[in-house]
Structure 1
């Protein structure tokens, strides 16, 4: 098992493998209407949907130290992907988390558990100091994930990421190692994550309309 692989109960995360291409292609194809509103796109035009090539690129980024491409599993069935990307070392020592989960696995607590596992792996094994998650204001289920884990709301980013064909506004949430010295997963499981930390202030709430 790779040292970054983690599990808790029925949920596990592990490095993506080339042989995952077929199941990931199937999940993406059968969840198009579910995923398209939140899916990153290229402002310069369509990109290849070759999953095998995509996995090779992700694994090369991992070897280069720029990211960690995980698959999320529930009872050993692939439920989605979780990517740690934009790893910065030195004085910044941070990274960003992005993820998607198949609709048939939604509502089972898979995503918050997987995000907690990945954040702990990055803090404990990679020695990173800060993890960030950026979420569209309209994406209530993802906002609920950061609330459950006690990620701190850090601000509103206008036209930040190209999603579903246009530049979209995002909320930024983050955690540092000092926020959960006992571990993000443990704090979550024990019900001690401060949900109010992720609360969006009133000045930014009109953007939800």
Structure 2
């Protein structure tokens, strides 16, 4: 039996789909004052209000995020501050809301009431206690559970980027950092780093 020679189109190799970039960005500035001193119980209440609050009025997203959103699949967490950030950046583009991107918890240690500091200081203290000692209350996410969630988030973002899509995540500072560390372990490289401030993010590309 005579075999038919492959056509030119059949003989050409199929080029692999280039993986898209992943940008992890923090939300805008929330409308909740930090110019106060709090006990540990006071900070616990403050953080609860922070979690359900929106953005401070009058903010404009930076051009770099708006431009990134113009050619990206956009994900955001279910927290109001992330939702409002995504809407401001997307300018009507489709959005994908997913609770997998919510911030890791910040339960403060039970310090005596004479110890009063501002929310920023409490955030550092609480994050250290949560990370170093896995300090969390009943029903709150543990450090190891958050690590699992970060791996799941990285799985989802990698799968979407593997289709050739650029991906923009509008979420929260520390959990974005956890996802970024997971991407780095998988061979992604941070090619643009604007830090962890409001409206700032980091871009990851596959090596």
Structure with greater helix percent: 2
State if a TM-score over 0.5 links the two structures. no
From the CA coordinates, give the structure whose radius of gyration is larger.
2
Give the number of the structure with larger relative contact order, counting CA–CA contacts within 8 Å between residues 6 or more apart. Answer: 2
